């Protein structure tokens, strides 16, 4: 998540003001009125526009907000959400959306809407990100990592209200990926009325700290590092959510979260470690869901810093890493070795791609020929588990041992989430363990955010790799609405990455979720966590006398 977007006076603001909303019952009643969702993560903002992944995007966005379009978790196709229909015009350079009517915004302790969602809200939400002159663009830092990495500010010519129920996006050039990008959780629709109210009060920064959306749940209480309490939105346009409240428990990691699940303190455990699967499978009180995920774990080389600016050194390091051991020791059969930055489930995946072989002898030979036999490098590692890597520190230790076999001394530097991003973009690291997951089925959602030149400025390109020819290929892939032509271009993109190797793909993992046997209606999507609106607790069966 973006560490520059907000200062953490936010915690005190939310504790003081969010708690003013009515609570349906004391915390001990959660078993009757809701459920506890345990996840490890840091929170910098409640607005997914300003996040680069993590808790805000993966968990909160689907509860607090809706998007114009969504992705069906089963068919992987675009489906209507706040836009009930849409048109593609000018060969993909113009997109027109027809909005649902009578969609209410949330009524919270800090905002009472006087009207339903309309085109003004859509224009406000996107113009804020794309128009640098917009009065809200710079509020809370002015960083929109996902869309900044796509250079959307340069590609969107205008966002226009045609009438109360119709919005039109006009682009400078055709973009075949556009619909997929605005269907991600990074593209929520905010309330313009709420923004205007905050402007009048001189409290614009609250828009990202005390959220107002149209989603099934709304913020009630936040305690930094402990929990987030969400209350049911009784006016939700899709119908009344089944549970009155959801408590998102942030207070324990690793073994602590597993213990909470086993004792019943947690009802749902997001991203359990693969090493815990045996325990989870053998406990009759628990259920386990596994699905393919649109994600990638990778090792990023700092290509702006010698000696990793030399592709030959990068290839030598890749040859040194025993990926099969990573699969066995980190993922326990819940991932497949990655041969591309694209997951195998992507329609643009290059089936000819091959996993980098494990050959310490070849690695030593390359390093010797370059006079680099005794390298000393640093590997920066996030401490929190993620959907794409359940054990980053253990992964780092295995890589450290592998590189030692070829004469490379690797120092592991553990870094926390928000701190990590700022330091990585300062270019002091040599390598970092990173990953990416997206709720888009378009390959552009992997290539541009991770490796385009613009993604360096938006702080998602940890490799600091900028290759204009690569960016030209990505642009060419967007100009055609023909799938076959785009596939050919993306095949060339993947071959270029195979040669240059700015990042080493490691694994594409299954999405895992464990939960108590009485929790029903929980949907695990390959594109990120889905809405909790349909989740309910099955009543225990009464025993017959």
Q: Using only C-alpha atoms, what is the Rg of the chain?
A: 23
pLDDT in tens, 197-233: 999 999 999 999 999 999 999 999 999 989 999 999 9
Task: Please give the mean pLDDT across all residues of the chain.
Answer: 88
CA–CA separation, 509 vs 381, rounded Å? 18
Q: What is the pLDDT of residue 480?
A: 80
Pair 354, 466 in one domain: yes
Pair 319, 448 in one domain: yes
17 band by pLDDT with thresholds 50, 70 and 90: very low
545 occurs within a structural domain: no
Residue 22: count of CB within 10 angstroms of its CB: 7
271 occurs within a structural domain: no
Predicted confidence (pLDDT) at residue 545 exceeds the cutoff of 60: no
Pair 245, 299 in one domain: no
pTM of the predicted structure, to 2 decimals: 0.81
Count of domains forming the chain: 2
448 occurs within a structural domain: yes
Q: What is the pLDDT of residue 150?
A: 86
Q: What is the pLDDT of residue 10?
A: 37
Predicted confidence (pLDDT) at residue 18 exceeds the cutoff of 70: no
Beta strand 503-516 pairing with 34-38: unpaired
Predicted confidence (pLDDT) at residue 20 exceeds the cutoff of 90: no
116 occurs within a structural domain: yes
pLDDT in tens, 481-539: 788 889 999 999 999 999 999 999 999 988 888 999 999 999 887 776 689 999 999 98
Average pLDDT over every residue of 69-75 = 86
CA–CA separation, 306 vs 290, rounded Å? 41
Give the torsion sign (CA, 434, 440, 443, 444).
negative
Pair 236, 303 in one domain: no
Within 13 Å and on the Cβ side, how many CA atoms surround 219? 33
480 occurs within a structural domain: yes
424 band by pLDDT with thresholds 50, 70 and 90: low
CA–CA separation, 503 vs 455, rounded Å? 14
Q: What is the pLDDT of residue 346?
A: 86
CA–CA separation, 192 vs 213, rounded Å? 11
395 occurs within a structural domain: yes
Q: What is the pLDDT of residue 28?
A: 47
Pair 214, 338 in one domain: no
379 occurs within a structural domain: yes
Within 13 Å and on the Cβ side, how many CA atoms surround 203? 12
Of all residues in the chain, the percent with pLDDT exceeding 70 is 90
Q: What is the pLDDT of residue 525?
A: 78
Q: Which domain holds residue 205?
A: 10-249
Q: What are the residues whose beta carbons fall under 8 Å from the beta carbon of 326, sequence distance 6 or more?
A: 395, 398, 399, 506, 507
Pair 443, 300 in one domain: yes
């Amino acid at each position: 998540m973006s560490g520059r977007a907000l200062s953490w006076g936010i915690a005190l603001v939310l504790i003081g003001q969010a708690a003013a909303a009515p609570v349906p019952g004391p915390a001990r009643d959660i078993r009757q009125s809701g459920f506890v969702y345990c996840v490890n993560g840091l929170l910098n903002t409640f607005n997914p526009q300003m996040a680069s992944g993590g808790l805000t995007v993966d968990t909160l966005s689907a509860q607090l907000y809706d998007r114009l379009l969504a992705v069906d978790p089963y068919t992987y196709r675009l489906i209507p959400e706040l836009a009930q229909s849409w048109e593609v015009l000018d060969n993909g350079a113009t997109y027109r959306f027809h909005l649902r009517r009578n969609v209410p915004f949330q009524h919270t302790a800090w905002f009472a809407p006087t009207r339903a969602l309309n085109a003004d809200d859509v224009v406000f939400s996107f113009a804020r990100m794309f128009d640098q002159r917009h009065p809200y663009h710079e509020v809370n830092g002015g960083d929109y990592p996902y869309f900044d990495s796509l250079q959307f500010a340069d590609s969107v010519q205008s966002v226009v209200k045609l009438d109360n129920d119709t919005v039109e996006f006009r682009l400078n050039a055709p973009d075949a990926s556009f619909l997929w990008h605005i269907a991600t959780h990074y593209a929520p629709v905010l309330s313009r009325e709420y923004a205007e109210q905050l402007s009048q009060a001189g409290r614009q920064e609250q828009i990202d700290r005390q959220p107002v959306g149209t989603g099934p749940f709304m913020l009630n209480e936040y305690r930094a590092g402990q929990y987030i309490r969400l209350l049911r939105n009784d006016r939700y346009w899709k119908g009344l959510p089944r549970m009155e409240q959801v408590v998102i428990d942030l207070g324990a990691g690793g073994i602590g979260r597993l213990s909470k699940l086993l004792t019943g303190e947690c009802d749902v455990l997001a991203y359990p470690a693969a090493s815990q699967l045996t325990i989870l499978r053998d406990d009759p009180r628990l259920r386990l869901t596994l699905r393919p995920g649109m994600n990638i774990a990778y090792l990023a080389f700092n290509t702006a810093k010698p000696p990793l600016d030399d592709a030959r050194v990068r290839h030598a390091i890749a040859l040194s890493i025993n990926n099969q051991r990573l699969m066995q020791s980190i993922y326990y059969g819940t991932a497949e070795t990655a041969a591309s930055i694209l997951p195998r489930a992507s329609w643009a995946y290059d089936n000819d791609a091959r996993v980098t072989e494990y050959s310490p002898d070849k690695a030593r030979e390359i390093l010797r020929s370059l006079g680099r036999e005794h390298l000393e490098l640093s590997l920066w590692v996030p401490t929190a588990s993620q959907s794409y890597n359940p054990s980053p520190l253990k992964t780092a230790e295995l890589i450290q041992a592998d590189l030692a076999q070829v004469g490379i001394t690797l120092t592991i530097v553990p870094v926390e989430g928000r701190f990590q991003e700022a330091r990585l973009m300062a270019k002091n690291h040599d390598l970092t363990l990173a990953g990416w997951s997206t709720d888009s089925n378009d390959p552009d959602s992997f290539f541009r955010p991770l490796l385009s030149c613009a993604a360096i400025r938006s702080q998602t390109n940890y490799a600091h790799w900028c290759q204009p020819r690569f960016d030209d290929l990505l642009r060419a892939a967007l100009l055609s609405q023909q799938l076959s032509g785009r596939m050919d271009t993306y095949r060339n993109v993947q071959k270029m990455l195979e040669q240059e190797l700015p990042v080493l793909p490691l694994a594409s993992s299954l999405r895992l979720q464990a939960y108590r046997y009485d929790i029903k209606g929980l949907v695990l999507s390959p594109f990120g966590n889905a809405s909790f609106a349909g989740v309910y607790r099955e009543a225990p069966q009464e025993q017959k006398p």
